[in-house]
């Protein structure tokens, strides 16, 4: 199956422009970039996609073994770039996709020209002196929250399964783009929150921008600083935006930070 | 509408007309207004009560920080994005973290208020307490999970059981069990150790270490440590059920070595599963659970390091069942393999018997036997024989051609000296089978003759040895020694029994062959001594004699000839004879006949008189065999010839082209019951240039043609060779009439007048 269909790849912008690929994080799908991606359409070839298991991707392509580690997702990303024949790609990865981006760049450095890591966290679970922000019990609680919600949502999906034309049809849209198969969501959560990619950071070989939000409960400042220190020659930008999703809460600031960095002489100067 | 109990119409009216502020504050749900970033700017009393905080505390606080950590993450990854995208969220489950550490499960609905440009301004949320609902949902989910896991388990068990049923070797069973158990409980590694089969009597129990049959995902250091644990593992499992052995203070105290390796290898716990058959422990399945990740994955484990992974009751049940099923499968496969081995042993012994019945000499028998024994019975086969020159090692074979040179060295250089600890010597000295169940370095050092012998022993990499004495009627003939290598595994009691049966067969064949060879050698030596030396030259005659022993086996003939010049009258006495039988007795009788014949010649009796005297004195000679004989007297000067036959074939006369059998009328055989008439004598002349041929029936008789055909053939060959001298004639007759395969002895005498 074509990866374009498998990952519901959407392309817009200038066909001859520099490719910019947006990778969504854990939780929802490519819609997350709705307020940011259009700002690059004037001078970039904009590529959006859904990770397998999320949004409009082909759920039948979900293979628990392949997606049992972040490398499976990184391989998909490389496949997308190859199938679209992209090069010098600006890869913008949010949250867990920042780490997927690290693995993709490592697997195929020739495809990528720049990496933007939005709210990265290479290891969520605290480990000795390293503070990732979470204990194992926290992650267990998160998996619990996921269960609690997906059960409710599965019930809400019942009318949809019964067919169109029902009065509940409008309800169908409720929570839809964050909805997926509960088992896939659970495994993606495990892979996201139980991975340790700290050792991969020093191997990043393209210019890298780390965007750090304020008051981010999922990717604390200290973690962003750690990533910046570990990725050679990376640029660190502290955003005023709060929370874990600056592309939603402060799209203008996010866009401007990326654009400003891309305008720099390749943004290669260590901050 | 019915009246509300305890409230008058006025009160009811007041409640219905309640002011909006009261409705907001005391509504049956929590109300919450916050800025898009989550900062709370307004709450109602219900929410304050539920969250166990005062309104003052809540105002200005961050809503996500009131949630559990899981809820906070969910808020960031789902709630906020949904609100931003859809403007509203419904029925999102979030838990409030209460100051006392407990949680309050809630369902949250929220809407986002936006300004004209679409930018978010305010979020309004309502919270409903959902403790009971969540408890119900959780129970539902747990039941669903249990059902799913139970189905997964029963599928795993079903698959493993059907694979066990299809297993045809012990190794198959081991692989299925290890893989099945690993997959079923997501263990990082697993290995099956087999306890040794029934300990042989008289041996200390538990000496043989458990044998690793199959493993996957167990690191080499841990494997070594588990093997070192050895027989103690047997004790761990004897109490019965599935046991989890976590890395912890207990283990560090009891098995510090194992604990250290587990810690170094980041192994959190071992799961020990007994493999039992008919209630007896047959093996131990060891599963390894590591601290990092489940199922060998790269993910961080949710289990805190060092706490050890407990096993779900259902998983323990599954493993126990698997262990029992595997035990039964092992039992079945063992039975099957034992039956197959039994059949192979019987076939081997049958082949050995067939081979030995066809073999000729001792050397050939043992060499072919050694070739048969490896690799079917053993990897190394040595056969030592006791001969008059002492011990010899006529056969040494190794199953692996690459190691045959080691067997050759054992044969050529390292024959064990008498006395000492070598099993071959012990078997010979004790007259009993010596079974070395385990070849150790110390043992090899003890039996080695020197450093080079020790090096050969090490290179052979033997694991077991059996030495069986070869005995016949209490006499030691030799020793059969068999060795097994690692691939074959140790010899079993049944193997030893086959070796003993084989040794019995070999002993009989070797004994018989040795006796026969001895007898043959003796007979031939005797016969060679009994035959006369080459005839002396006689003027006027050309004489040639030939004696050919039978070509097969130990057959010894009683054929003889003699040519004796008699100085008194210048005549020459001739004799050819054949004693009945082909054995040492026949040879002895022949010798006596020839001696008596010479003694009789002192009186120069006529040929018929010689026969008569033999017949008359036969009883006095005490000979046990009868004989045929032809006696003659020839005068070389005149050619006068007289012949008399005692049951013997007539001689052939060759005169130029004329070839004829002389009509010498035979009288009865020497030693046959007396007949009334004395022997009749033939008299004639042997012309100059003519040749007289005397022979025994070995020349004209064969197993495939009758004697008349043989006589006719002799005549034809003689005619064709009529111009030849006696020597050449004899050679041609033997070559063309008997060939290489003589069933009987041949004595041939040709006399020509020149």
Residues of chain B short of pLDDT 50, as ranges, are: 1-4, 199-206, 293-296, 554
What secondary structure letter does DSSP report for A109? G
Put simply, whether A138 touches B (Cβ < 8 Å) is yes
Show the domains of chain B with their CATH numbers: 20-129 (3.30.450.20), 151-335 (3.30.450.40), 359-510 (3.30.450.40), 530-753 (3.60.40.10)
- Residue A216 falls in the annotated catalytic set: yes
Peptide bond into B366 cis (omega under 30): no
Better-scored residue on pLDDT, A197 or B201: A197
Beta carbons of B69 and A32 less than 8 Å apart? no
Mapped onto helix, strand or coil, the DSSP state of residue B552 is: coil
Please give the residue of chain B at the shortest CA–CA distance from A69.
B298
Question: Could you count the other beta carbons within 10 Å of the beta carbon of residue B204?
Answer: 7
The alpha carbon dihedral of B83, B85, B88, B89 has a sign of negative
Interface probe, candidates A217, A241, A246, A251, chain B, greatest B C-beta count within 10 A: A217
Among the listed residues A216, A228, A234, A247, the single catalytic one is A216
Chain mean position to CA B320 = 33
Put simply, whether A244 touches B (Cβ < 8 Å) is yes
Pairing of strands A208-214, A235-242: parallel
- pLDDT of B359 reads 65
Put simply, whether B141 touches A (Cβ < 8 Å) is yes
Nearest to B68 among A123, A141, A242 (CB): A141
Show the domains of chain A with their CATH numbers: 3-124+197-268 (3.40.50.1820)
Torsions phi, psi for B158 (to 5 deg)? -60, -45
Pairing of strands B267-277, B243-246: antiparallel
Alpha-carbon span B138 to A143, nearest angstrom: 13
For chain A, the straight-line distance linking the first and the last C-alpha, in angstroms and rounded, comes to 43
Helix B493-530 vs helix B313-358: angle between axes, to the nearest 10 degrees? 10
- pLDDT of A167 reads 41
Better-scored residue on pLDDT, B3 or A199: A199
The reported pTM is: 0.56
Question: Max Cα separation, chain B?
Answer: 183
Question: Could you count the other beta carbons within 10 Å of the beta carbon of residue B752?
Answer: 22
- pLDDT of B278 reads 79
User: In this structure, are residues B251 and B243 in contact, taking their beta carbons and an 8 Å threshold?
Assistant: no
Helices (H), chain A: 3-6, 70-83, 96-107, 136-162, 182-193, 221-230, 246-249, 251-263
Beta carbons of A245 and B80 less than 8 Å apart? yes
Among the listed residues A57, A95, A97, A195, the single catalytic one is A95
- pLDDT of B5 reads 55
Report pLDDT digits (tens) over B534-559.
888 889 999 999 888 775 554 567 88
- Residue A95 falls in the annotated catalytic set: yes
B97 contacts in chain A (CB < 8 Å): none
* Gyration radius of chain A's alpha carbons: 18
Beta carbons of B81 and A190 less than 8 Å apart? no
- pLDDT of B552 reads 57
- pLDDT of B205 reads 46
Better-scored residue on pLDDT, A170 or B62: B62
User: In this structure, are residues B476 and B431 in contact, taking their beta carbons and an 8 Å threshold?
Assistant: yes
Q: What order of strands is seen across the sheet that includes strand B658-661?
A: B541-548, B746-753, B691-695, B652-655, B658-661
Report pLDDT digits (tens) over A208-260.
999 999 988 899 999 999 999 999 989 999 999 988 999 988 999 999 999 99
Alpha-carbon span B302 to B300, nearest angstrom: 7
CA angle B255, B196, B285 (to 5 degrees): 55
Q: Which helix (H) or strand (E) holds B192?
A: strand B189-194
Put simply, whether A217 touches B (Cβ < 8 Å) is yes
E strand intervals along B378-495: 380-387, 390-398, 434-436, 462-472, 475-485
A27 contacts in chain B (CB < 8 Å): 76-78, 81
The alpha carbon dihedral of B658, B660, B663, B667 has a sign of positive
Put simply, whether A187 touches B (Cβ < 8 Å) is no
- pLDDT of B29 reads 93
- pLDDT of A110 reads 95
Beta carbons of A69 and B138 less than 8 Å apart? no
- pLDDT of B204 reads 45
The alpha carbon dihedral of B338, B344, B347, B348 has a sign of negative
Which residues of chain A from 87 to 106 reach within 8 Å of chain B, CB to CB?
A: 95
Alpha-carbon span B527 to B589, nearest angstrom: 10
* B331: its two tokens: 């039992």
- pLDDT of A157 reads 38
Better-scored residue on pLDDT, A6 or A175: A6
Better-scored residue on pLDDT, B164 or A146: B164
Which residue from B594, B591, B581 is spatially nearest to B554, judged by alpha carbons? B581
- pLDDT of B165 reads 87
* ipTM of the prediction greater than 0.85, yes or no: yes
Alpha-carbon span B55 to B665, nearest angstrom: 154
* B638: its two tokens: 């005149």
Nearest to B74 among A145, A151, A190 (CB): A145
Put simply, whether A139 touches B (Cβ < 8 Å) is yes
Nearest to B36 among A68, A144, A249 (CB): A249
Torsions phi, psi for B427 (to 5 deg)? -65, -40
B128 contacts in chain A (CB < 8 Å): none
């Amino acid at each position: 199956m074509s990866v374009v269909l498998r990952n519901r790849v959407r392309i817009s912008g200038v066909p001859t422009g520099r490719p910019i690929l947006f990778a969504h994080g854990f939780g929802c799908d490519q819609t997350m970039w709705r307020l940011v991606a259009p700002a690059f359409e004037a001078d970039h070839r904009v590529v959006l996609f859904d990770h397998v298991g999320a949004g409009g991707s082909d759920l039948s392509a979900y293979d628990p073994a392949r997606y049992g580690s972040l490398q499976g997702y990184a391989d998909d990303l490389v496949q997308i770039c190859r199938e679209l024949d992209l090069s010098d790609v600006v890869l913008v990865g949010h949250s867990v996709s920042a780490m997927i981006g690290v693995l993709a760049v490592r697997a195929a450095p020739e495809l990528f020209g720049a990496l933007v890591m939005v709210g990265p966290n290479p290891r969520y679970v605290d480990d000795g002196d390293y503070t990732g922000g979470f204990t194992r019990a926290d992650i267990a609680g998160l998996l619990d929250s996921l269960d609690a919600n997906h059960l409710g949502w599965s019930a809400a999906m019942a009318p949809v399964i019964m067919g169109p034309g029902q009065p509940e049809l409008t309800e169908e849209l409720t929570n839809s783009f964050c909805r997926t198969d509960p088992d896939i969501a659970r495994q993606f959560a495990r892979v996201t929150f139980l991975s340790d990619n700290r050792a991969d950071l020093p191997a990043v070989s393209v210019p890298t921008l780390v965007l750090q939000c304020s008051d981010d409960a999922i990717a604390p400042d200290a973690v962003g600083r750690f990533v910046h220190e570990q990725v050679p020659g990376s640029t660190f930008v502290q955003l005023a935006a709060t929370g874990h999703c600056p592309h939603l809460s402060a799209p203008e600031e996010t866009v401007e930070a990326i654009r400003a960095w891309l305008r720099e002489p390749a943004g290669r100067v260590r901050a | 509408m019915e009246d509300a109990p305890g409230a008058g119409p006025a009160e009811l009216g007041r409640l219905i007309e309640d002011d909006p502020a009261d409705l907001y504050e005391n509504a049956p749900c929590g109300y919450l207004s916050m800025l898009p970033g989550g900062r709370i700017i307004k709450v109602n009393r219900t929410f304050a009560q539920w969250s166990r905080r005062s309104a003052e505390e809540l105002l200005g606080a961050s809503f996500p920080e009131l949630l559990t950590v899981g809820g906070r993450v969910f808020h960031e990854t789902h709630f906020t994005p949904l609100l931003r995208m859809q403007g509203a969220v419904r029925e999102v489950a979030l838990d409030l973290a209460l100051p006392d550490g407990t949680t309050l499960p809630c369902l949250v609905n929220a809407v986002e208020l936006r300004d004209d440009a679409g930018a978010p301004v305010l979020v309004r949320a309502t919270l409903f307490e959902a403790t009971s609902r969540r408890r119900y949902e959780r129970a539902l989910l747990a039941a669903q999970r249990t059902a799913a896991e139970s189905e997964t388990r029963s599928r795993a068990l079903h698959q493993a059981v059907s694979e066990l049923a299809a297993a045809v070797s012990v190794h198959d069973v081991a692989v299925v069990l290890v893989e099945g158990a690993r997959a079923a409980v997501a263990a990082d590694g697993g290995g099956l150790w087999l306890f040794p089969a029934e300990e042989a009597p008289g041996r200390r129990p538990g000496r043989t270490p458990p044998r690793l049959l199959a493993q996957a995902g167990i690191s080499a250091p841990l494997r070594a440590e588990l093997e070192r644990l050895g027989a103690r593992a047997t004790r761990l499992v004897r109490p019965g059920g599935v046991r989890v052995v976590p890395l912890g203070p207990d283990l560090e105290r009891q098995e510090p070595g194992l604990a250290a390796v587990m810690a170094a290898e980041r192994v959190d716990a071992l799961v020990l599963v007994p493999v039992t058959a008919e209630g007896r422990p047959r093996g131990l399945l060891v599963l390894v659970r590591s601290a990092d990740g489940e199922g060998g994955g790269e993910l961080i484990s949710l289990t805190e390091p060092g706490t050890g992974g407990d096993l779900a009751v259902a998983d323990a049940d599954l493993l126990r069942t698997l262990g029992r099923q595997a035990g039964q499968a092992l039992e079945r496969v063992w039975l099957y393999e034992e039956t197959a081995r039994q059949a192979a042993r019987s076939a081997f012994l049958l082949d050995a018997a067939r081979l030995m019945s066809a073999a000729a000499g001792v050397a050939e028998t043992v060499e072919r036997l050694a070739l048969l024994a490896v690799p079917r019975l053993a990897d190394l086969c040595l056969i030592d024989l006791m001969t008059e020159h002492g011990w010899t090692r006529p056969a040494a074979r190794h199953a692996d051609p690459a190691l045959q040179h080691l067997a050759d060295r054992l044969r050529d250089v390292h024959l064990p000296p008498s006395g000492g600890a070598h099993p071959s010597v012990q078997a010979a000295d004790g007259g009993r089978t010596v079974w070395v169940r385990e070849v150790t370095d110390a043992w090899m050092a003890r039996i080695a003759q020197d450093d080079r012998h020790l090096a050969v022993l090490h290179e052979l990499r033997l694991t077991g040895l059996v030495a069986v004495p070869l005995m016949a009627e209490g006499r030691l003939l030799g020793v059969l020694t068999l060795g097994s290598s690692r691939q074959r595994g140790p010899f079993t009691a049944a193997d030893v029994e086959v070796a003993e049966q084989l040794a019995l067969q070999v002993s009989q064949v070797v004994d018989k062959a040795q006796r026969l060879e001895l007898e043959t050698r003796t007979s031939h030596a005797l016969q060679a001594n009994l035959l006369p030396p080459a005839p002396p030259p006689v003027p006027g005659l050309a004489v040639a004699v030939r004696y050919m022993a039978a070509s097969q086996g130990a057959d010894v003939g009683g054929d003889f000839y003699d040519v004796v010049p008699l100085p008194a009258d210048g005549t020459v006495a001739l004799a050819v004879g054949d004693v009945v039988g082909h054995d040492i007795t026949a040879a002895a009788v022949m010798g006596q006949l020839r001696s008596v014949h010479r003694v009789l010649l002192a009186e120069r009796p006529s040929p018929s008189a010689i026969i008569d005297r033999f017949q008359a004195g036969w009883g006095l000679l005490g000979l046990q065999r009868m004989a045929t004989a032809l006696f003659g007297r020839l005068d070389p000067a005149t050619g006068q010839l007289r012949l008399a036959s005692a049951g013997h074939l007539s001689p052939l006369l060759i005169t130029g082209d004329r070839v004829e059998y002389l009509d010498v009328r035979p009288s009865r055989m020497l030693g046959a019951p007396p007949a009334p008439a004395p022997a009749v004598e033939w008299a004639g002349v042997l012309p100059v240039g003519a040749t007289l041929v005397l022979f025994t029936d070995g020349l004209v008789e064969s197993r495939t043609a009758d004697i008349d055909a043989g006589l006719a053939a002799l005549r034809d060959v003689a005619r064709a060779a009529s111009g030849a001298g006696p020597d050449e004639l004899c050679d041609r007759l033997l070559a063309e009439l008997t060939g290489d395969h003589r069933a009987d002895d041949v004595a041939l005498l040709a006399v020509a007048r020149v």
